[in-house]
């Protein structure tokens, strides 16, 4: 089973490309202090808004800071937001989905109605409203993105639980006296992790996109901390003179999100080739 998975995964060129992008991003953000050519926060008033040159490969921003270095450090933000927000979404989504699917009846109806209600809110509205009430900080953003993104995972896990709970191995566990908690978390949940893994990979991509949009609007990661989104804000403010401030950070977001999406789809296709259209 496992070797089948890797065999199928490595035959899928797009999935491998996505995986390479993701691994490369990890490397860049881990090695940021060593590979960034300049200090990302070093202000140089004499060299404001310089176009790309051999000294500043991607130019400088409105305070004369090196854009490439800021983007390299900004990758850490994307990585952090992507993983923490998705982690929260999985935690909430998987627990609620497991409980709804396992217990059924009124527990299921209450949780699923709650999911329906949450889905009525445009998630960007909900995120903005909560950020307006709290302070815009990276932690608040991660938590809010996570807390507004768990509904899809709940539906997936619930569906898996409904079909898995009737299986023989669950009956067997019950017969030897395993409690509900043990059956849910030790016996059924591991079998439902495949679909969660796929949803999580795609969720990281979504969280990165949302963070960049929030930072772009000035309600996300606050300067001087560099994030791809807030570099783009400077790009918008200098739209008629500094195209490089707009082009490169967006390209970084595009490639990152594309990487996670391709990886996620690749994992799904490799886990179960029948799911492929």
Nearer to other proteins, 116 or 272 (CB): 116
Q: Where are the beta strands (DSSP E) in 163-227?
A: none
Indicate the SS3 state at residue 15. Answer: helix
What minimum distance in Å lies between the beta carbon of 78 and other proteins?
11
* Beta carbon of residue 265, minimum distance to other proteins (angstroms, whole number): 9
| Stretch 123-162 residues interacting with other proteins (CB under 8 A) | 123-126, 128-134
- Strand partners of residue 66: 60
Q: Are 184 and 102 in contact (CB under 8 A)?
A: yes
Considering only residues 244 to 273 of the shown chain, the ones binding other proteins according to CB under 8 A are 246-247, 249-250, 253-255, 257-258, 261-262
| Cα dihedral across residues 24, 29, 30, 34: positive or negative | positive
Question: Which DSSP helix (H) or strand (E) runs through 154?
Answer: helix 151-164
Q: Which is nearer to other proteins, 44 or 62 (CB)?
A: 62
CB of 250 to other proteins, least distance (A): 3
- Range 165-204, binding other proteins (CB under 8 A): none
CA separation, residue 191 to residues 153, 174, 195, 199 (Å): 14, 17, 9, 15
Q: Whose Cβ is closer to other proteins: residue 138's or residue 170's? A: 138
Q: What is the spatial distance between Cα 206 and Cα 216, in angstroms, rounded to a whole number?
A: 15
Stretch that binds other proteins, among 66-74, 92-100, 191-199, 231-239 (CB under 8 A): 231-239
Strand partners, 219: none
> Of these, 23, 91, 119, 172, which contacts other proteins (CB under 8 A)?
119
Max intra-chain CA distance, the chain: 76
Q: Is 236 in the site for other proteins (CB under 8 A)?
A: yes
The verdict on 32 binding other proteins (CB under 8 A) reads no
| CB-nearer residue toward other proteins: 21 or 188 | 21
111, 114, 116, 121: CA torsion to nearest 10 = -150
Rule CB under 8 A: which residues touch other proteins?
A: 113-114, 116-126, 128-134, 205, 209, 212-213, 216-219, 232, 235-236, 239-240, 243, 246-247, 249-250, 253-255, 257-258, 261-262, 277
């Amino acid at each position: 089973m496992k070797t089948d998975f890797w065999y199928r995964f490595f035959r899928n060129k797009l999935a491998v490309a996505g995986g390479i992008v993701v691994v490369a991003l990890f490397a860049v953000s881990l090695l940021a202090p060593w590979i960034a050519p300049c200090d990302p926060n070093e202000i140089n008033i004499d060299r404001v808004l310089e176009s790309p040159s051999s000294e500043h490969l991607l130019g400088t921003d409105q305070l004369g800071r090196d854009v490439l270095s800021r983007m390299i450090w900004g990758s850490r933000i994307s990585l952090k937001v992507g993983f923490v927000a998705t982690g929260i979404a999985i935690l909430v989504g998987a627990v609620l989905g497991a409980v709804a699917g396992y217990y059924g009846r009124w527990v299921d109806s209450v949780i699923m109605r709650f999911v329906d209600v949450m889905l009525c809110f445009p998630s960007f509205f909900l995120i903005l409203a909560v950020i307006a009430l709290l302070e815009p900080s990276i932690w608040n953003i991660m938590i809010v993105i996570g807390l507004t993104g768990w509904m899809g995972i709940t539906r997936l896990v619930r569906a898996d639980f409904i079909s898995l709970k009737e299986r023989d191995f669950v009956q067997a566990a019950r017969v030897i006296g395993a409690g509900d908690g043990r059956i849910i978390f030790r016996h059924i949940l591991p079998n439902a992790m495949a679909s969660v893994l796929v949803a999580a990979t795609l969720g990281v991509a979504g969280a990165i996109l949302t963070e960049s949009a929030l930072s772009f609007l000035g309600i996300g990661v606050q300067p001087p901390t560099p994030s791809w989104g807030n570099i783009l804000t400077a790009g918008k403010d200098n739209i008629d003179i500094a195209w490089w401030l707009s082009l490169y950070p967006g390209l970084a977001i595009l490639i990152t999100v594309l990487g996670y999406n391709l990886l996620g789809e690749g994992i799904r296709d490799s886990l179960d080739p029948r799911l492929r259209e």
